[in-house]
């Protein structure tokens, strides 16, 4: 299998963190990484469009040449192939909670952060739009407060003692915010502690560069 990715871009980073967590937990995942340089527009090349008509990353290419073009679908596919260690948890209720928290991180935090960054100083050259940026920035404080409260009992990961996919999505989001010099963590001590601890882990350091 091949994973097409670019550094710091949050959706590929989420998948790369997921893969790193799985390998660290003993999964025999063998995936070759292939860089697609987003600022140069390589995602719009005919080769990449053949992999993914939406011109985005990540893309997982299987050995038969077919592709999976949504980050969460890639994660679900790999999780079914390599169930151990379980990155959604073990029990149905835990798995539902892990999926719920991951959706909150992606939809209420990552997506507005991406929208804001592309509407202010887009790394891939999209035009600025102050109204879009303002609306996006109004969306994320509630998610940040929710996560800060979730982490108030000093648990090491969002769901407790072991990482789940939401931790990968959150770390990818906070790295992208750092790249754009947006301080999301002011006044959120629990989230700031989670961020420091997550980034200090060797697994995270294999993937995160900021
Ligand atoms: N819903 C998709 C979103 C993919 C996406 O938008 N990826 C960004 C990088 S984080 C991208 O490739 N953008 C290309 C561009 O801006 O031209 C997923 O979760 O995989």
Ligand 1 geometric centre to CA of 54 (Å): 8
Predicted confidence at residue 201, as pLDDT, reads 97
Predicted confidence at residue 148, as pLDDT, reads 98
Predicted confidence at residue 206, as pLDDT, reads 95
Q: Which is nearest to 167 in space by CA: 183, 150, 152? A: 150
CA distances from 41 to 57, 72, 83, 86 (A): 12, 23, 35, 35
Q: What is the pTM of this model?
A: 0.98
| 89-97 average pLDDT score | 96
**Which of ligand 1's atoms lies nearest the C-alpha of 118?**
16
Interval 101-139: pLDDT, tens: 999 999 999 999 999 999 999 998 999 999 999 999 999
CA distances from 145 to 109, 138, 174, 185 (A): 11, 13, 14, 10
Give the confidence band of 179 by pLDDT, cuts at 50, 70, 90: very high
Instruction: Mention every residue, 6+ apart, whose C-beta is less than 8 A from residue 5.
Output: 12, 13, 15, 16, 33, 34, 35, 36, 57, 58
Arithmetic mean of pLDDT over the chain? 97
Instruction: Mention every residue, 6+ apart, whose C-beta is less than 8 A from residue 46.
Output: none
Q: Is 9 close to ligand 1, i.e. is its CB under 6 Å away?
A: yes
Write the DSSP string, 18-54. Answer: HHHHHHHTT-----EEEE--GGGTGGGSHHHHHH-TT
Predicted confidence at residue 10, as pLDDT, reads 98
Structural domains for the chain = 2-81 (3.40.30.10), 92-207 (1.20.1050.10)
Q: Is 71 close to ligand 1, i.e. is its CB under 6 Å away?
A: yes
Predicted confidence at residue 54, as pLDDT, reads 98
CA distances from 22 to 56, 132, 199, 208 (A): 24, 37, 17, 16
Judge contact between 184 and 105, C-beta under 8 A.
no
Give the confidence band of 78 by pLDDT, cuts at 50, 70, 90: very high
Mutate to test the pocket of ligand 1, among 51, 56, 116, 123 (most ligand atoms within 8 A of CB): 56
Interval 24-49: pLDDT, tens: 999 999 999 999 999 999 999 999 99
Which residues, in sequence order, are bridge partners of residue 4? 34, 59
CA distances from 56 to 127, 157, 168 (A): 18, 29, 19
**Which of ligand 1's atoms lies nearest the C-alpha of 114?**
10
Instruction: Give the HSE-up count for residue 15: Cα atoms under 13 Å, Cβ half-sphere.
Output: 28
**Whole-number Å distance between alpha carbons of 117 and 182:** 9
Q: Which is nearest to 59 in space by CA: 43, 82, 81? A: 43
Q: Which is nearest to 176 in space by CA: 99, 124, 103? A: 124
């Amino acid at each position: 299998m091949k994973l097409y990715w670019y550094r710091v871009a949050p959706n590929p980073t989420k998948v790369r963190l997921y893969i790193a967590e799985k390998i660290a937990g003993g999964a025999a995942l063998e995936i070759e990484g292939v860089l697609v340089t987003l600022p140069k527009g390589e995602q719009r090349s005919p080769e990449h469009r053949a992999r993914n008509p939406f011109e985005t990353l990540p893309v997982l290419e299987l050995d038969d040449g077919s592709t999976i073009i949504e980050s969460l679908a890639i994660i679900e596919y790999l999780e079914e192939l390599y169930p151990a260690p379980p990155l959604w948890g073990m029990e149905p209720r835990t798995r539902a909670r892990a999926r719920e928290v991951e959706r909150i991180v992606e939809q209420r935090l990552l997506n507005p952060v991406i929208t804001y960054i592309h509407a202010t100083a887009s790394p891939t050259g999209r035009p600025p739009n102050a109204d879009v940026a303002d609306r996006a920035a109004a969306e994320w404080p509630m998610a940040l407060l929710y996560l800060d409260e979730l982490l108030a009992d000093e648990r090491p990961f969002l769901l407790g003692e072991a990482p789940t996919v939401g931790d990968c999505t959150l770390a990818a989001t906070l790295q992208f915010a750092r790249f754009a010099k947006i301080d999301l963590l002011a006044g959120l001590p629990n989230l700031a502690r989670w961020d420091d601890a997550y980034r200090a882990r060797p697994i995270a350091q294999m993937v995160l560069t900021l």
